[in-house]
Amino acid sequence: MSDENLKATPALPLKEACVRAAIDVIREDGLEKLSLRDVARRLNVSHQAPYKHFGLKDRLLVEVIRRCLRSFAEALAASGQGQNGPDEAMRALGEAYLTYAVQFPLEYRLMFMTPWPADAKTAGLSQDARAAFDILTHRLSALKPYVSDAERDRDAMFVWSSIHGLASILQSEAMQYLSFSDADAQAAVAHAMDMVDVALAQRRP
Amino acid sequence: MSDENLKATPALPLKEACVRAAIDVIREDGLEKLSLRDVARRLNVSHQAPYKHFGLKDRLLVEVIRRCLRSFAEALAASGQGQNGPDEAMRALGEAYLTYAVQFPLEYRLMFMTPWPADAKTAGLSQDARAAFDILTHRLSALKPYVSDAERDRDAMFVWSSIHGLASILQSEAMQYLSFSDADAQAAVAHAMDMVDVALAQRRP
DNA sequence: TGATTTGGTTGACGGTGTCTACCTCAAGGG
DNA sequence: CCCTTGAGGTAGACACCGTCAACCAAATCA
C-alpha cells in the first residue's frame, strides 16, 4: 500500500476539480448562479484558490464551454453507429442533437445561447465548435454529392439553423408561452424535421 | 407659458423613464450589464427610487421584454405593406425578422435567448409573444389553405424555428467561429430561406 | 382636518469579482 | 548546504450589486 490514504482529498488537482464543480453548478442551477466563490466553497478551499488557476471567471468559463462542446460532439458522433443508410444516420443526428438539448438544457444554453467570453477565440474554442459542426457536414456528404465544400456548407448551415432553432425553442418555455400542448409540441418537432428532410431531398440526384 | 421650465427634468414619470433607461443600457451593453442602481444613477435619483415602481429587478425586466416584443411585432407587421402576393409577403416577413435580430442583437437575445423571469407568464408576456407569432400564422394562411389550425401551427413552428435558428446564429459570432466569410454567411442565409420556401411549397395546392 | 397612500430618501446586510499582500513549501542552482 | 524562486494556498480589502428596513414629505382622500 502506498500513502494514498494519508492525504485528505487530493484525488484531483484543484484546477480540474474547479472545472467539474462549475459544470455541476451550471447543470443544476444555470450559468447565472455560477460564482467562483461558490465553487471554492464546494471544494473547501479559500475564495481565492480558484483564482490561482483561472485568473478571471471568464477563463474558467471558457474551460467549461470547451468540455461541453466536446461531450456534445461525442454524443452527436455516437448517434451514427448502427444506422442503415445515410438517411437514417442524418435523422439520428438530428434526434441526438435535440435529445442533448433537452437533456442538458443549461449546458446547451451555455454553448449556443450565451455570449462567449471575449477571449474565447484566442482560447481555441472555435476549433471545438468546428469539430461539432463537421460531424454534420460529413453526414451531409454521405447523403448527397456536392460540387463544392461551399455548397455543402450552405446545406449544413440550413440544417443546423433549423435544428438549433427547434432545440432552442424546445428548451425555452416558448411552447408553453404559445400554449402548445405537449402532444402538439411533439408533433411540431416531428413535422419540422420532416420539412428539413423534404428540403434536402429536393435537388437530390 | 406654463411652468414647464421651472421643473428640472420631469418630462416622464419615473417609471417610464426607468424602462427607457433600461432599454438603453441593454441596447448598449447587454442584459448582464443592467443594474437597477445604474438605471437610478442615470436618472439622477437614489438607488432605491426604481424599487418603488418595480419591487424586483425581474419586474422591470418583464416590462422591458414587453416593450421589445411589441416593437418587434410592429416591425414584423410593417413588413407586409406593399408586397405583391402572399409569397413575397412571406419572404418579406423572414427578412424583417432577420433584420431586426441583426439590428438589435441584444434586444433579440433578451426576448428569445434569455430565460424569462419567473413571473413572466402571470405578467401576461405570453400574449405579446403570441401576437408576434400570429403575424406568421396569418401570412401562412394567406399562402396556402390549411385544413386545421393545428396543421398551420405546425408549419408556423417550422418556419419560426428555421428563421429563429438563423437569426440566433447570425447575431452570435458563430459564423466567425466557424470561419465563414461575410459573403459565405450571406449566401448561407439566402440558401436557408430558399430551403424553407421549398419545404413550404412542397405540398402546396 | 386628520389619516393614509405615494414616491422619494439614507443606511444597512450579505453576496459577488477582483486586487494586493502575505505565507509556505518544494525544487533547483550556487 | 543554503538560498532563491515560484507555484499554490491564505486572509483582507474594495467596489459593486440586489434587497430590506426605517424614515420623511407631499398628495389624496375620509
Q: Tens digits of per-residue pLDDT, A26-43?
A: 999 999 999 999 999 999
- Best of B61, B135, B161 to disrupt the A interface by mutation (most A CBs within 10 Å)? B161
Distance from the Cα of A119 to chain B's closest Cα (Å) equals: 12
3-state SS assignment for residue A146: coil
Whether residue B192 has pLDDT greater than 80: yes
User: What is the number of other CB atoms lying within 10 angstroms of the CB of residue B72?
Assistant: 24
Query: What is the arithmetic mean of pLDDT over A104-117?
Result: 94
Torsion sign across C-alpha atoms A81, A82, A83, A85 = positive
Torsion sign across C-alpha atoms A101, B23, B40, B52 = negative
Give me the CA B1–C1' D28 separation in Å, rounded.
27
A123 strand C contact, CB < 7 Å? no
Whether B161 sits inside 8 A of A169 (CB atoms) is yes
Whether residue A6 has pLDDT greater than 60: no
> For residue A12, what pLDDT band results from cuts at 50, 70 and 90?
confident
Query: What is the arithmetic mean of pLDDT over A160-184?
Result: 92
DSSP string, B1-59: --SGGGSSS-SS-HHHHHHHHHHHHHHHH-GGG--HHHHHHHTT--TTHHHHH-SSHHH
Q: Which cell goes with B199?
A: 419545404
Whether residue B202 has pLDDT greater than 90: no
Whether residue B170 has pLDDT greater than 80: yes
> For residue A205, what pLDDT band results from cuts at 50, 70 and 90?
low
Q: Are B80 and A137 in contact (CB under 8 A)?
A: no
Whether residue A2 has pLDDT greater than 70: no
Q: Note the pLDDT of residue B205.
A: 57
What is the rounded CA–CA span in Å between residue B121 and residue A152? 41
Whether residue B72 has pLDDT greater than 70: yes
Question: Which element (helix H / strand E) includes B107?
Answer: helix B105-112
Strand C: which nucleotides have any atom within 7 A of a protein Cβ? Answer: 7-12, 15-21
What is the rounded CA–CA span in Å between residue A105 and residue A114? 12
Query: What is the arithmetic mean of pLDDT over B41-45?
Result: 96
Query: What is the arithmetic mean of pLDDT over A105-116?
Result: 94
pLDDT per position as a tens digit, A64-73: 999 999 999 9
3-state SS assignment for residue A172: coil
Q: Note the pLDDT of residue B8.
A: 39
B124: left (phi over 0), alpha (psi -120 to 50) or beta: left
Distance from the Cα of A63 to chain B's closest Cα (Å) equals: 16
Report the residue from B168, B188, B195 with minimal CB separation from A168. B168
Q: Note the pLDDT of residue B9.
A: 40
Q: Note the pLDDT of residue A17.
A: 97
In chain A, the percentage of residues whose pLDDT exceeds 70 is 93
Give me the CA A186–C1' D29 separation in Å, rounded.
56
- What b-and-e string marks burial along A74-100, b requiring 16 or more CB atoms within 10 Å of the CB? ebbbebbeeeeeebebbbbbbebbbeb
Q: Note the pLDDT of residue B12.
A: 82
Query: What is the arithmetic mean of pLDDT over A162-180?
Result: 91
pLDDT per position as a tens digit, B133-165: 999 999 999 999 999 999 999 999 999 999 999
Q: What is the dihedral of CA B170, B174, B176, B182, to 10 degrees?
A: -20
Q: Note the pLDDT of residue A11.
A: 64
Give me the CA A52–C1' D27 separation in Å, rounded.
57
Whether residue A199 has pLDDT greater than 60: yes
Strand D: which nucleotides have any atom within 7 A of a protein Cβ? Answer: 7-13, 16-22
Residue B10 vs residue B121, higher pLDDT: B121
> For residue A187, what pLDDT band results from cuts at 50, 70 and 90?
very high
Residue B2 vs residue A37, higher pLDDT: A37
> For residue B37, what pLDDT band results from cuts at 50, 70 and 90?
very high
Collect all residues with Cβ–Cβ distance below 8 Å to B195 and sequence separation of at least 6: A158, A196, A199, A200, A202, B162
